[in-house]
Structure 1
Amino acid sequence: MPIDPSVAIGADLGERSFSWGASDVLLYHLGIGAGQRAGDHLSPAALRYTLDDENLHVLPSFGVVAPTFHETAPPPLDLPGCDIDLAQVVHGSQSVTVHRPIPTSGTATLRKSITDVWDKGKAAVIWDEGTVVSDAGEELWTVRSSIFVRGEGGFGGDRGSSTSVELPGRDPDCEVTYTVTEQQALLYRLCGDRNPLHADPQFARDAGFPAPILHGLCSYGIVLRELTDALLGGDASAVRGFGARFAGVVFLGETIGVRGWRTDEGIVASARIVSDDEQRDGAPVLADCSLTL
């Protein structure tokens, strides 16, 4: 059978040692839109993302991409107990929890395993989790993600839980927009994701899209950065965790509208397309967004 939960759940996905430096942090921040607003080249707050001096800080979402930052080919999808077609896979959700502020440079090891496999009938959801440990033995951050595999459900497994982030029934504490540049995906792909869906127009058309789309993890980073700037004074060290579900696509040149609410537990948010095109206006980008402080 394509998916065997008895083999997959708990399977060790091995470990990956990696290093990063200030240049990687700067490139990542530029890839998610830091420094693009008028006056950012003179703003001390904006330069904390884009200038490699003693004030440089690291947005926690960098931890999601750091282990594969220098990859130039998509990782093989050879998961134990999961014989699946990459063309049927989409990124479902992503979270990162930092146990201390991510340093601007370092060497560490990521160890991952499959934690859950859910049977949604017409699809399967596969969850993995990993912890990044420094060479000194300190736990730095934890990542958890899911992939949605179309056509691979119906194997009689657990349907899993369904939790959603409830947004307050009041005006948001911040409402901001960010316009994706037309070269944004070409820049972001240098952060370790060379999937041609985000760069090659013909590949995108063959995949059913009229044009290349933005990386989901780029949208993820953009939303976290906008919320950090709008509600936390641009202090990346104030963020302990960020999770979201990928709910839709973003085309290059589109505008992402972000709304955020402070709560007793942290910050909750939504992200949708803001457009004059009635068919695209309000289209979801990220759902179930929550920041832990």
Structure 2
Amino acid sequence: MIDYNTLRNFPIPEVRQRVTPRDAVFYALSVGLGQDPMDRRQLDFTDADRALRVLPSMAVVLAHPGFWAADPATGIDAVKVVHGEQSITLHHPLPAEGEIIGRTRVTGLIDKGEGKGALLYSEKELRDAATGTLLAVTGSTTFLRGDGGFGGPSGPVKPVNPVPETPPDITVDLPTRPEQALYYRLNGDNNPLHSDPDVAAKAGFPRPILHGLCTLGVVAHALLRELGDYREDSMKSLALRFSSPVFPGETIRTEIWRDGAFRARVVERDVVVVNNGKAVFA
């Protein structure tokens, strides 16, 4: 069982990562760029022989602390962990090469009650190791499905962004690949829920699911294409809620409003997988 004070103050190790152009290219490929061989704009993110650009959403995997929730000392039932929400605030374009420092900490813990799970809020700060420049801050809400009823606080719960009731202004369909989760986990998120059928079954899924952050990468690609014209410095912030898992091989349809609101659904099942999204572009 979770101990509130232990988890609230859990020491997540600082991570230093030496980023290379290969890392930037691999990340772009792992979230689906390059599937259209005639889209020359995508080559700026996937061809290291060009003046390489880095996708803003790569902030979620840079200096990633790994699946630290699986450490028995946390008290978390790691098999039942699901990514609930994610945000990114960009302060500076991400470099394609250099050393980056990531410092992650738990910022909040909400007890939803016995049998109802818990919410864990965490934040990661990314800085350039050489200059100390703040590059980005990412925020996560993790739903601990098996850990409610530990006697912790019941609030405050973060508010969600409303989605317009009008039809979306833009719709973008981007396919995922059947093996995409196996590629994406090489970015540093090796949770077996995304690779091992037996672990997926224990968690209540018929097969391994796509990482929530991979779904985010696909959606962020659609947003960058439509609202930022592939300018990597145009995206200033992004926040969303994961509402249902994506299975590798499904098509993600991102529905976008001109004010930056968005949601996404899988075409094959017509299920909303990302909701309450809000993006800010310069």
Deviation of 1:203 after TM superposition, in Å, equals: 3.6
- Structure 2 counterpart of 1:249, which letter? P
* Conserved? CA contact 2:120–2:142, under 8 Å: yes
- Structure 1 counterpart of 2:265, which letter? R
User: Where does residue 25 of structure 1 map in the other structure?
Assistant: 24
Distance (Å, rounded) in 2 between the aligned partners of 1:160 and 1:134: 33
Q: Deviations over 1:120-147 (max 9, x none)?
A: 1222111111211212211111111121
Matches within 5 A, 1:127-146: 127-135=121-129, 136-146=131-141
User: Where does residue 250 of structure 1 map in the other structure?
Assistant: 246
Change (3 A) 1:76 1:171: closer
Indicate whether 1:286 and 2:278 are aligned: no
TM-score norm. by structure 2 comes to 0.89
Distance (Å, rounded) in 2 between the aligned partners of 1:79 and 1:58: 35
Distance (Å, rounded) in 2 between the aligned partners of 1:24 and 1:245: 26
Distance (Å, rounded) in 2 between the aligned partners of 1:79 and 1:98: 33
When the two chains are superposed, the root-mean-square deviation of aligned CA atoms in Å is 2.2
Distance (Å, rounded) in 2 between the aligned partners of 1:206 and 1:36: 33
User: Where does residue 91 of structure 1 map in the other structure?
Assistant: 83
* Conserved? CA contact 1:25–1:104, under 8 Å: yes
Distance (Å, rounded) in 2 between the aligned partners of 1:215 and 1:54: 29
* Conserved? CA contact 1:164–1:288, under 8 Å: yes
User: Where does residue 272 of structure 1 map in the other structure?
Assistant: 265
- Structure 2 counterpart of 1:196, which letter? P
* Conserved? CA contact 1:3–1:152, under 8 Å: no
User: Unmatched 5+ residue regions in structure 2?
Assistant: none
Aligned length: 277
User: Where does residue 188 of structure 1 map in the other structure?
Assistant: 184
Q: Deviations over 1:178-198 (max 9, x none)?
A: 121112122212222233322
Distance (Å, rounded) in 1 between the aligned partners of 2:155 and 2:26: 39
Deviation of 1:151 after TM superposition, in Å, equals: 3.7
Indicate whether 1:125 and 2:119 are aligned: yes
Change (3 A) 1:162 1:189: closer
- Structure 1 counterpart of 2:135, which letter? L
Deviation of 1:90 after TM superposition, in Å, equals: 1.3
Change (3 A) 1:203 1:10: closer
Matches within 5 A, 1:158-177: 158-177=154-173
Distance (Å, rounded) in 2 between the aligned partners of 1:212 and 1:229: 28
Distance (Å, rounded) in 1 between the aligned partners of 2:118 and 2:201: 25
* Conserved? CA contact 1:13–1:79, under 8 Å: no
Deviation of 1:261 after TM superposition, in Å, equals: 0.9
User: Unmatched 5+ residue regions in structure 1?
Assistant: none
- Structure 2 counterpart of 1:23, which letter? R
**Aligned with residue 209 of structure 2, among 213, 216, 233:** 213
Change (3 A) 1:76 1:166: closer
Q: Secondary structure at the match of 1:143?
A: strand
TM-score norm. by structure 1 comes to 0.86
Distance (Å, rounded) in 1 between the aligned partners of 2:188 and 2:122: 19
* Conserved? CA contact 1:19–1:108, under 8 Å: yes
Percentage of pairs with the same residue: 36
Distance (Å, rounded) in 1 between the aligned partners of 2:30 and 2:52: 16
* Conserved? CA contact 1:59–1:237, under 8 Å: no
* Conserved? CA contact 2:176–2:250, under 8 Å: yes
Indicate whether 1:3 and 2:28 are aligned: no
* Conserved? CA contact 2:110–2:152, under 8 Å: no
